Amino acid sequence: MLLPVSEKLRQKLEETNRDLRKVYPEEVFNRSAMKERLATIGQFSQVSKWSGPEMKAWLRGRSLVGVDGSVNSTPGTHPHTLSVFQALAKGTGGEEYWAADLYTPLLEKEEKPEEGQLAREAQHRGRLLAGLEIGTALEAVRRWSPGVILMDGSLYHFRIDHGKAWEELANEAEKAGVLLVGVSEEIGTQALARTLFPGQGNYSDREVLFGVMQPGEVYISPELEPPGSGLWKAVLAPTRNPQPVGVDGLLSQSAAREELLRLVYSLTPVQGRGIPLWLDIVDQEVRVTDSLVEAMVEQHIDPDLRHRLLVPKRSDRVL
């Protein structure tokens, strides 16, 4: 079925494709050639999957906890929005701990949006969500002392967004012998690309790692570990998807790095998107959907306030 696009748009797309091919030539991003380049600054290895009994024995009767969070907002423009946050720590032994928060710029003192205000709001929402997720993980450590806490996203980003709360979580996890591990679906760094291609500032690690690794393969490089972060970092290909995932953990717990990588690999369906099944289950439960936001606002915000402040005019469109 042909899509109804103008000839001008088709020409622009073809032109963009040619420009992208010049920047990302096939010979540079050839799988074997790229793997050889990566091997000069790091090391590839292979991990195997655990059986159920092997994983249970390694956990020594302790549970596995997944931590994830979600945020969604009412439609509208600044400042007429309300954001709903949820975070959940869920253990394989039936344990659950929920946290929630709300945010609206309507309660801020600053009435007129300044330059960069929307970017700061997005950053604020990110920090709020990270804080909730760290808080739920901390409660999991204190209440249940699980064997492992799997967190959705890089631990490094939690450290950046909420340094003080992160240090508290890391310290308590170390004392309780709880292993922390973060799994990032998207690799957002540029450290490898900048080292291998210093003249190409637009290359990213996602691009140089794409399609290079086989299922169960691990890549480790000193370039990946931010100095002074207190974290180890690795790249893992847990599925047949050509895009690997990022995995990181506490440097003080690096003796368990291989076991944690095996755990992530074992818990991830080979046909999946690269995230451990337990984290996907938590994600489904905690997700704040559009319908949930709409229902909660309709139920708890007075009608006059809702229509005056939070209902955009476009919602009245017939088509």
Q: What is the arithmetic mean of pLDDT over 276-285?
A: 96
The residue with greater pLDDT, 57 or 119, is 57
Residue 318: the pLDDT is 43
**Quick count: other Cβ atoms within 10 Å of Cβ 226?**
15
Residue 5 above 90 pLDDT? no
Q: What is the arithmetic mean of pLDDT over 118-125?
A: 80
Q: Maximum Cα–Cα distance for the chain, whole Å? A: 64
Q: What span, in angstroms and rounded, lies between the C-alpha atoms of 89 and 151?
A: 9
Residue 299 above 70 pLDDT? yes
Is the CB of residue 213 less than 8 Å from the CB of residue 181? no
Residue 76 above 90 pLDDT? no
Contacts of 13 by beta carbon, 8 Å cutoff, 6+ apart: none
Q: How confident is the model at residue 79 (pLDDT cuts 50, 70, 90)?
A: confident
Q: What is the pLDDT of residues 179-211, one digit of tens each?
A: 999 999 999 999 999 999 998 888 999 999 999
* Residue 265: closest CA among 213, 219, 233, 217: 217
Residue 78: the pLDDT is 84
- Rg of the chain, C-alpha, whole Å: 22
Q: What span, in angstroms and rounded, lies between the C-alpha atoms of 234 and 232?
A: 7
Report pTM.
0.91
Give the rounded percent of residues in the chain with a pLDDT score beyond 90.
78
**Ramachandran sector of residue 276 (left: φ over 0; alpha: ψ -120 to 50; beta: rest):** beta
